[in-house]
């Protein structure tokens, strides 16, 4: 039998015992300490052995904020760098989700932002949720179809959720936002009432808005106990200015209003806003363009219309009964119903169009989830029991405003 010579290879240890005539082959230990490593940083040699290992950390994402040069309420885009794919993933700045996190400063590749103990962002480069609804003055929700509104009466809504106690014209400006123009002297006051105000008791809220006006105008918050006014009012110089106001609410608020207040106006004076925001915390974070579909759903909690495509029957030759529901999006409370026209148009299926004359609502059964029925009189010649359907115009309005 031939003799063979054993030699150590890389990473191999050969131990020969001359007395016992044995040879032991083992893998040579490396400098790596046995154990469990988190997000490990490792080195592997050509034999596949680990020659070094250390605990690591998750790579921070890269963040870049692009705004429209309007500081506190700037619209913007936040771009992320995925540490796994190592590529940019831009996206809109969205609402942060409040949570029970400790007050901290989070550092990203582009800098840092701070979060308070309630999960609210307290720096200007991320955005808190907006408590207000229909805040894009440049493209507002207008279910009433009232814009532009001429000689809107005090105490009426034009754009959804925005109420004024002044005779005014209201219109969206082609180069800006929603403008209310006074028709006489007095106070120009445009307000949104906030539902669920009790949840904000003893909390600090901040309102901010991009405003232009030709008269001194303040942004204000009022909780039914005390009010707070923006530290600096609009100068009245007709340029865009950022207004902010911060208020700690009473421990027993009875309401919550966010409003523009121009206390001394003459006919022709105006207040216009493009972006407005109300948020928890003491810092005005950027306003974010809302999704119009989501804003419409939020507005329909307080006001909505029906009639286009509404189905029903003529229960008398002069009366139609319409039915409908919105169970997927209930209203704030049982609404009141009104007729939007005294000449409603409905189609008697297979027969003819029926147009009411001097029509009015004769009976109704409503809930927050829809209407069991609304009966409208003022028709003539309809076939009793015939199916009816609304045409292309709005017939009914349902209001559950605050």
- The per-residue pLDDT for 34 is 87
What average pLDDT does the segment 79-94 reach? 39
Q: Is the pLDDT of residue 65 over 60?
A: no
- Report whether 115 contacts 104 (CB < 8 A): yes
Residues making up the chain, counted from first to last = 402
> Residue 273 in contact with residue 113, Cβ under 8 Å?
no
Range 367-381 average pLDDT: 93
**Section 291-304 average pLDDT:** 95
What's the pLDDT at 221? 97
Closest CA to 338 of 157, 96, 133, 217: 157
Q: Tokens 């605990």 identify what position? A: 55
Q: Which two tokens stand for residue 352?
A: 């003819």
Q: What is the pLDDT of residue 3?
A: 64
pLDDT at residue 176, rounded to an integer: 86
* 3-class secondary structure, 81: strand
Closest among 195, 201, 246, 189 to 225, alpha carbons compared: 201
The residue among 168 and 94 whose pLDDT is bigger is 168
| Mean pLDDT value across residues 86-98 | 39
Of the given ranges (55-69, 217-231, 295-309), which has the lowest mean pLDDT?
55-69
In three-state secondary structure terms, 178 is strand
What span, in angstroms and rounded, lies between the C-alpha atoms of 52 and 184? 81
At residue 1, does pLDDT exceed 90? no
Task: Give residue for tokens 């469990």.
Answer: 36
Which range (50-54, 234-238, 278-282, 294-298) has the least confidence?
50-54
pLDDT > 90: percent of the chain: 58
Distance in angstroms (rounded) separating the CA atoms of residues 110 and 245: 29
Burial of 71 (0-12, 13-18, 19+ CB in 10 A): middle
6 — pLDDT class (breaks 50, 70, 90): low
Give the pLDDT score at 93: 38
The more confident residue out of 391 and 190 is 190
Describe the chain by its helix, strand, coil percentages, rounded to 5.
5, 45, 55
Choose between 15 and 115: higher pLDDT. Answer: 15
Residue with tokens 């995925």: 82
Q: Given this model, what pLDDT does residue 8 score?
A: 67
- pLDDT higher than threshold 80 for residue 175: yes
The two counts, helices (H) then strands (E), for the chain are 1, 31
Q: pLDDT tens for residues 196-253?
A: 999 999 999 999 999 999 999 999 999 999 999 999 999 999 999 999 999 999 999 9
pTM of the model: 0.70
Helix (H, G, I), strand (E, B) or coil at 361: strand
Instruction: Please report the beta strands in 55-185, taking only residues with DSSP state E, as ranges in sequence order.
Output: 63-67, 76-82, 87-92, 104-108, 111-115, 149-152, 156-157, 163-164, 168-172, 178-182
Q: What's the whole-number average pLDDT of the chain?
A: 83
> Quick one: pLDDT at residue 36?
86
CA 197 – CA 220 distance, rounded (Å):
16
**Residue 171 Cα distances to 177, 181, 241, 322, angstroms:** 8, 9, 19, 33
Set out the domains of the chain in order of their start, with CATH numbers.
12-54 (no CATH), 61-290 (2.60.120.260), 300-399 (2.40.30)
pLDDT by residue (tens digit) across 315-348?
999 999 998 877 678 999 999 999 999 999 999 9
Average pLDDT over residues 374-392: 93
Write down the pLDDT at residue 143: 94
pLDDT above 50 for 148: yes
Contacts 24+ apart (CB under 8 A), 114-122: 116/281, 118/280, 118/281, 120/96, 120/279, 120/280, 120/281, 121/96, 121/281, 121/283, 121/285, 122/281, 122/282, 122/283
Give the pLDDT band of residue 114 (cuts 50, 70, 90): low
Instruction: Using the predicted structure, report yes or no on whether residue 101 has a pLDDT greater than 50.
Output: no
Span 385-402, average pLDDT: 91
Answer with the residue of higher pLDDT: 117 or 311.
Answer: 311
Query: Torsion angle, CA of 88/91/97/99, rounded to 10 degrees?
Result: 20
Kindly report, residue by residue over 20-29, the tens digit of the pLDDT.
667 777 777 7
pLDDT confidence tier of residue 69, bands split at 50, 70 and 90: very low
């Amino acid at each position: 039998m031939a003799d063979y010579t054993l030699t150590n290879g890389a990473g191999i240890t050969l131990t020969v015992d001359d007395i016992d005539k044995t040879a032991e082959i083992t893998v040579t230990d490396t400098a790596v300490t046995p154990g469990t490593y988190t997000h490990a940083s490792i080195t592997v040699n050509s034999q596949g052995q680990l020659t070094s290992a250390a605990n690591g950390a998750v790579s921070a994402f890269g963040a870049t904020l692009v705004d429209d040069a309007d500081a506190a309420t700037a619209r913007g885009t936040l771009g992320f760098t995925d540490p796994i794919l190592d590529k940019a993933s831009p996206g809109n700045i969205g609402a942060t989700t409040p949570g029970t996190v400790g007050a901290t400063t989070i550092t990203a590749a582009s800098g840092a932002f701070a979060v308070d103990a309630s999960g609210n962002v307290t720096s200007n480069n991320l955005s808190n949720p907006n408590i207000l609804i229909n805040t894009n003055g440049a493209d507002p929700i207008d279910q009433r179809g009232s814009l532009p509104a001429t000689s809107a009466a005090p105490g009426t809504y034009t754009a959804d959720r925005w109420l004024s106690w002044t005779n005014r014209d209201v219109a969206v400006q082609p180069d800006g936002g929603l403008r209310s123009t006074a028709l006489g002297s007095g106070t120009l006051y445009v307000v949104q009432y906030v539902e669920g105000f009790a949840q904000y008791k003893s909390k600090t809220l901040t309102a901010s808005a991009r405003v232009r006006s030709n008269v001194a105008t303040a942004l204000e918050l009022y909780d039914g106990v005390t009010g707070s006014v923006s530290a600096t009012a609009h100068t009245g110089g007709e340029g865009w200015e950022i207004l902010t106001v911060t208020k700690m609410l009473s421990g027993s608020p009875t309401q919550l209003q966010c409003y523009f207040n121009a206390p001394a106006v003459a006919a022709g004076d105006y207040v216009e806003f493009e972006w407005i925001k109300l948020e928890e915390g003491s810092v005005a974070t950027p306003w974010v363009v809302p999704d119009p579909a989501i804003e419409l759903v939020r507005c329909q909690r307080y006001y909505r219309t029906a009639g286009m495509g509404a189905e029903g029957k003529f229960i008398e030759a002069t009366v139609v009964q319409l039915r409908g529901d919105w169970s997927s999006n209930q209203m704030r409370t049982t609404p009141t119903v009104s007729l939007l026209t005294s000449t409603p148009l409905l189609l008697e299926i297979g027969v003819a169009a029926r147009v009411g004359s001097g029509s009015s609502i004769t009976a109704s059964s409503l809930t927050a989830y829809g209407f069991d029925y609304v009966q409208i009189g003022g028709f003539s010649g309809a076939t009793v029991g015939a199916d009816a359907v609304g045409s292309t115009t709005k017939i009914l309005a349902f209001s559950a405003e605050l």
